[in-house]
Amino acid sequence: MHIAVAAAGIAPGDEVITSGITDIGTVIGVLFQSAVPVFADLEPFTGCLDPADVERKITSKTKAIIAVHLAGNPRRLGELKTIADQHKLILIEDCAQAWGALYRGKPVSSVGQISCFSLQDSKQITCGDGGIALSSDETFGPLLTKFGDKGTNRYDPKDSSTALGANYRMSELQAAFVAAQLTRLEDIVSKRSRLGALLTQELTGTPGIATHHVDKEDRCSYWFYMTRLVPEKLRCDRAQFTKALAAEGVTFSNGYIATALYGMPMFRNHSFFAGHWPIKELGLTAMDYTKVKCPVTEEILKTCMLFRLNEAMDEEYIRGVAKAVRKVAKHYAV
Ligand SMILES: Cc1ncc(COP(=O)(O)O)c(C=O)c1O
């Protein structure tokens, strides 16, 4: 993601609109380039960017949108691209959780100008750690290699060291692992997508439970399955619900990340760099993260429960999971 932001030419004080529910990796590069992450609110049952709020957050300083395909769900990507085009912004797809996901039948990464995938251990495919940044746009493609390789253009010394780049090179040994893993991707993701859709089917209509929305034209790769509790329909809190599920032998997480990104101490204290945020001190941004309000984002974090489905499970297992959720929901129904 750092390579993507550097290649996109994001400059100090520029703004990049993205999600508050994601891994910090989405915005590390934005911050290291001295740009400003701006958080837009999310859709309630996908956790993906709400295009209407993205539009509201655009200012004269906005340079890019990072669409995070949360859990592997490329929701409303086309609308985000239209907004990006209308405002001459670069659309970066954060596909870290979305290996094998399809938007309207096309692989994620084919809509935005630059996209990034994670190969960290827990992803659908992995080589231990690392990732891939890619572009089909000639403007950005060559810059990705350069900014991932200490600002060096190995083919053209004159084009080297014109700007600062870090070393994000991956070893050939890791790349060989990934090449092998890629041959398994379709099997892995088609299974996950089938199991996720089955879980939705089995849970639809369960009082107190909101299912993970995926457009029927798309394929979600379900890095996780996100349910949300509907508190007013239940006589228990989320911790009680997940505890009761555990007693049924089924593990759902009691939440996702502890706080939206803008609620993390380094955002609230603007203390990214040894207690400082130089661009704020220099007057290049007036951003105050203590004032950020994204009500849907916060509602999701208060009520979500994640189920880590994976391709080693089968239909019978998923039906059993759904049965346990229905049992607990029925027990606590108001
Ligand atoms: C949405 C998202 N973006 C970025 C990252 C960062 O990826 P990595 O840990 O490979 O740097 C992650 C990691 O989980 C992620 O989930």
Cβ neighbours, 10 Å, residue 207: 13
Ligand 1 pocket member 120 (CB < 6 A)? yes
Give the pLDDT score at 17. Answer: 98
For residue 260, report the distance from its CA to the centre of ligand 1, in Å: 15
Ligand 1 pocket member 126 (CB < 6 A)? no
Give the pLDDT score at 224. Answer: 98
Strands 131-134 and 114-118: antiparallel
Helix (H) or strand (E) holding 132: strand 131-134
- Ligand 1, closest atom to CA 131? 10
For residue 112, report the distance from its CA to the centre of ligand 1, in Å: 17
With beta carbons less than 8 A apart as the criterion, state whether 65 and 92 touch. yes
What lies within 8 Å, CB to CB, of 166 at 6+ separation is 2, 32, 147, 148, 150
- How far, in Å, CA of 41 to CA of 90, rounded? 19
Where do we find the tokens 């220099």?
A: 282
For residue 157, report the distance from its CA to the centre of ligand 1, in Å: 32
Instruction: Dihedral sign for Cα 293, 35, 133, 175, please.
Output: negative
Give the pLDDT score at 190. Answer: 98
For residue 232, report the distance from its CA to the centre of ligand 1, in Å: 33
Closest residue by Cα to atom 14, ligand 1, is 23
Give the pLDDT score at 110. Answer: 96
Mean pLDDT of the chain: 97
Mutate to test the pocket of ligand 1, among 27, 118, 174 (most ligand atoms within 8 A of CB): 118
With beta carbons less than 8 A apart as the criterion, state whether 227 and 307 touch. yes
Helix (H) or strand (E) holding 19: strand 15-19
- How far, in Å, CA of 181 to CA of 304, rounded? 31
Per-10-residue mean pLDDT for the chain, 334 residues long?
98 98 98 98 98 98 98 97 98 98 97 98 94 94 95 94 95 95 97 98 98 98 98 97 98 97 98 98 98 98 98 98 98 97
Beta-sheet strand order (sheet of 304-307) = 209-210, 225-229, 304-307
Where do we find the tokens 């329909």?
A: 233
With beta carbons less than 8 A apart as the criterion, state whether 77 and 84 touch. no
Ligand 1 pocket member 248 (CB < 6 A)? no
For residue 96, report the distance from its CA to the centre of ligand 1, in Å: 5
Cα separation values, 18 from 55, 123, 307, Å: 11, 21, 24
Instruction: Dihedral sign for Cα 172, 176, 177, 182, please.
Output: positive
Strands 225-229 and 209-210: antiparallel
Cα angle, residue 113 at apex, residues 110 and 115 outer, rounded to 5°: 70
Closest CA to 66 of 24, 34, 126: 24
In a 3-state reduction of DSSP, which class is residue 42? strand
- Looking at residue 101, what DSSP letter applies? -
For residue 158, report the distance from its CA to the centre of ligand 1, in Å: 33
What lies within 8 Å, CB to CB, of 180 at 6+ separation is none
Closest residue by Cα to atom 10, ligand 1, is 118
- Ligand 1, closest atom to CA 223? 16
Cα angle, residue 230 at apex, residues 225 and 232 outer, rounded to 5°: 170
- How far, in Å, CA of 92 to CA of 69, rounded? 11
With beta carbons less than 8 A apart as the criterion, state whether 175 and 130 touch. no
Closest residue by Cα to atom 5, ligand 1, is 25
Where do we find the tokens 């429960």?
A: 305
With beta carbons less than 8 A apart as the criterion, state whether 112 and 237 touch. no
Tell me the sheet residues that pair with 84: none
Instruction: Tell me the pLDDT tens digit for each residue of 117-148.
Output: 999 999 999 999 999 999 989 999 999 999 99
Give the pLDDT score at 39. Answer: 98
With beta carbons less than 8 A apart as the criterion, state whether 64 and 17 touch. yes
For residue 222, report the distance from its CA to the centre of ligand 1, in Å: 15
Give the pLDDT score at 317. Answer: 98
Query: What pTM did the predictor assign?
Result: 0.98
